[in-house]
Each structure stands twice: as C-alpha cells, then as structure tokens.
Structure 1
C-alpha cells in the first residue's frame, strides 16, 4: 500500500486511481478515504486521477499524539500531493471536516498547483456559534459529541451520530443498517485521541480569514437538512465569502451526501470538472 511520510514522521496511507488531471479527495470526520470510493471510481473512469488519503489518526494512517490542528493537516495534504507527484492542474475536494484542509491549504500554501476547489457539506467557514457568528452551532452540541465519544463511542456512532449524519430515522431510511455499521467500524479504526482532537479542530477553527485565499472556481454543495453542519453556518456563509464560488443546495438532504445523494453528487462534480 502506498504511504507518504510527513515532515514530522507520520505515515499517511493514500490511494491513487486512474490517470489524468488530479482530483484530491479529503474525507470527513470520523471516516477515511474509502468513504470517497464511489466518486473516486467515477472520476477514474471519466479520465481523472483520483487521489484519496486517510487523515492522520484515522484509517490506515499512523496515530500520533500531536498534529491535529489545521496547519498540520494542511501540511499533510501538501505532503500527499508532493509524494503523489502532482504539482499543477489540481482540484481539491473536501467533505465535511475535509473542507478545512482545503481552506487552510489555500491560505497557508497559497493554493499552489490548485485550479479548482469543491466544498461538500463542509465545515468552512466557521462552525461555532459566537456573538459574531450567530448562525453557528452551540458549544453544548459539541460537548455532547465529546461526551458520547468518551463514554461509549461504538454506541454513540452507530445509534446517534451516523443516523443523524445520514438522516436516518424511524420513517426515513436513506441508507441501510449495514452502511451505518460499516461507518461505525471505520470510525472505530481511528484512535481515541485523534478522534477527540479532530472534533475539537473542526468545531473550533475559524476559517473566515482563509476565504480570501480562494482565488479559483469553487463549487459548494450542501444539503438543506444537514443537522451536523447546518447550511446557514457553512455552505451559504462560504458562498457569501468566496467570490468565485457557486452554491448548489440539495433540498431535504442530510450531511452524508456521499451516500445519500451519491449519483447526483458525482454528476455535479464531473460537470464542474468539465467546465
């Protein structure tokens, strides 16, 4: 399996499918690169090179104690790009927490090599509700996530978090029980420290100052029924702050668009790449 070693000695797993213009897919919390498989296959089949990697602490990557702030995570993204040999004509696509790596790479690394970006159900620009961010998520919501992870994360992920992630309820069943179980299994591959540290990072990091670094065409896709990352706090706010952006709202869709709206998402990504 291909691995890249970061500047601080962390081994990150990545996979590269297909050949052509590179599209780097950055996964959400608490999943791994495999969550992008449907889109990666479609991209590779369409003539692109799809590159997806496991964030440090997750999946098949190392689980160091440190390095879960977005500056380090953006440097990890740069290391994957360098190891994969992609230097130009790059599209970055970040899902959920992964949108933060896109934003911080654009500012910290001056968007080197990037010609397009996409934010899918992304946490950008700022998740936390504050006096100057009134549409954000209250701190007590994040406290509940931390409590659930600390007390019994297997139960929390399978019975609480992922049903909300995919909009599953007593009546609405957009994904199977088996998929919920699979996602829980993937989440449990991550270490407890990185799981908690990354939750703190995506909930507390303010990317509003990073938005000006988006000087490339940017596609923003967000579900209007997203209960994990509300569209008003994220997708709509990002669209207002990124000059060269286009927002597509998926009516009544939850957070987990990679599964619940997989075909539509793939079609919209391919159309964006073709322009």
Structure 2
C-alpha cells in the first residue's frame, strides 16, 4: 500500500496506476478513492496514468482529528503531487472533491503542475444559505447531517445512498444494492470525527475567490436532478466565476452519476480532456 506523509504526520493513502498524462481523482464525502473505480479502469485502458487518494480521515488514510478543512485538504494534495512529481495533470473532483480541486488548483496549480480541472456535482461556489448566497441550503440541513452522523453513523450511511445520493428514491429508479453496500463500506472505513468536521468544510467553505483564480481550462459537469448539491446554486454560479469554464448539464441525472452513469460521463470526460 502506498502512502505519502504530510507535514503534520498524517499518512495519505493513494493508488497510482499506469503511465501517460496523469489524472488525479478527488472523491466526495464520506467516501474514498474507491469511488472512482469506473473512471480509474476506463482511463487506465485509454493510456492515462490514474491516481486516486483517500482524503485525510477517509478510507485508508490516517483517521486524524485535525486538519479536516479545505486548506489542509489542498495542502495534502500538494504534498501528493510533489511526491509523485506530477506535471500537466488533470484534476477531477466530485462533490466535496470538487471543492478540494478548486482550492488546490487556485493555491498550488502553478508551475505546470495542473493542465486542466473538472468539477462534477461539485460544492462550489458555496452550499450554505446566507445573505450573500440566498439560494443556498439552510444551515439546519447540515446540522441534521451532523446529528444523524453522531446518533447512528452506520444507519445514516445506509439512508444516504439508498435515497438521494443516487436518486434511488425517484419513481421507477433501478435500485442497485451493491452500489449502496459499496458506499456504506467506504464511509464506514473512515473516521467519524473527520467526517463530522468535513460537513462544515464542504457546506460552509466559500470557493468564490478560488474559482476566480483558476486559469486552466475547467469543465463543470452536473446532473440537473442532483438532490445533494442542487444544480441551480452550484454549477451555473461556478461557471460565471471561471476564466476558462465549460458547462455540461445532464438532464435527469443525480449526484452519483460517476458511478451509475459512468457509460455517459466517461466518454464525455475523455473527449474534453483530449480536446
């Protein structure tokens, strides 16, 4: 198993397969690099070098009780990129991972490290409702996440994937039990303290200035039936802030589109990366 140790002693687990142009995958909350299986295999077969790490406190990385916020997440990615000496990498982030990509590329993306970026169902610009963000979700939504996590994490990690995450609560949806089980497995592998802290990180971090600073081509992909990161208050707002942004909207698709709609998402990603 491969790890990189950060400045504060946290060990970040990563997978690094293949050769060619590197693609770095940043997972959502509360998952791990395993959430990118469908993309890792697809792009590996296309001749890319594919890398996926487990965010601190998630998956196989250290279950730290500190540093569970976006600045440290981005610094951890920078440590990984330096360790692997990545150049001209494509950074792809889903949900919370999209916020991590925005912060990393804005702060550490210079010097040829980053070639392109992709935000999929991503949390930027900011999720929580405020005077500046009247279309956001009320803080009570995220407070309920924290309460459910503390009360019974194992049950909460069943309820999320079996319902809104993949849209399995929609009429006529084909429910995939294995996908639900795999989400639960990934979530329970991480640490509850890090997952608790990460709710604040993904919901309250304002990425407006990060998006403005990004100067590499950036693809924003989002399903318009996303029940976790509502479309109207995310992708259309992010695209206005990006210097070189491209928006791709998927009618009727939900939050977990990289897994259950990989046959649609993967070819679109490939075409854009190669463009």
TM-score tier after normalising by the smaller chain length: over 0.9
Structure 2 unmatched ranges of 5 or more: none
Deviation of the 1:106 alpha carbon: 2.1
- Which residue does the alignment assign to 2:32? 32
- How far apart in 1 are the matches of 2:105 and 2:166? 29
TM-score when normalising by structure 2: 0.96
Superposition map of 1:41-120 within 5 A: 41-86=41-86, 88-112=87-111, 113-120=113-120
Structure 1 unmatched ranges of 5 or more: none
SS in 1 for 2:247: strand
CA RMSD of aligned residues (A): 1.3
The reply to whether residue 221 of structure 1 matches residue 221 of structure 2 is yes
TM-score when normalising by structure 1: 0.96
Please identify, of 145-154 and 166-175, the stretch whose mean Cα deviation from structure 2 is larger. 166-175
Deviation of the 1:215 alpha carbon: 0.5
- Which residue does the alignment assign to 2:156? 156
SS in 1 for 2:269: helix
- How far apart in 1 are the matches of 2:220 and 2:10? 31
- How far apart in 1 are the matches of 2:34 and 2:184? 13
**Contact 1:211 1:238 survives alignment (8 Å):** yes
Superposition map of 1:63-212 within 5 A: 63-86=63-86, 88-112=87-111, 113-160=113-160, 162-169=162-169, 171-212=171-212
Cα 1:42/1:196, change in 2 over 3 Å: same
- How far apart in 1 are the matches of 2:60 and 2:172? 32
- How far apart in 1 are the matches of 2:21 and 2:48? 5
**Contact 1:98 1:122 survives alignment (8 Å):** yes
SS in 1 for 2:194: helix
Q: Deviations over 1:156-186 (max 9, x none)?
A: 1212455210001273334412211221121
- How far apart in 2 are the matches of 1:85 and 1:176? 38
- Which residue does the alignment assign to 2:251? 251
- How far apart in 1 are the matches of 2:30 and 2:230? 18
- How far apart in 1 are the matches of 2:105 and 2:224? 26
**Contact 1:218 1:246 survives alignment (8 Å):** yes
Q: What is the number of equivalent residue pairs in this alignment?
A: 274
- How far apart in 2 are the matches of 1:108 and 1:94? 16
- How far apart in 1 are the matches of 2:207 and 2:241? 10
- How far apart in 1 are the matches of 2:175 and 2:120? 18
SS in 1 for 2:231: coil
Q: Deviations over 1:77-130 (max 9, x none)?
A: 0111112221x2111111100011111112222444111000000001111111
- How far apart in 1 are the matches of 2:243 and 2:122? 17
SS in 2 for 1:232: helix
Cα 1:151/1:172, change in 2 over 3 Å: farther
- How far apart in 2 are the matches of 1:146 and 1:80? 29
SS in 1 for 2:14: strand
Cα 1:42/1:170, change in 2 over 3 Å: closer
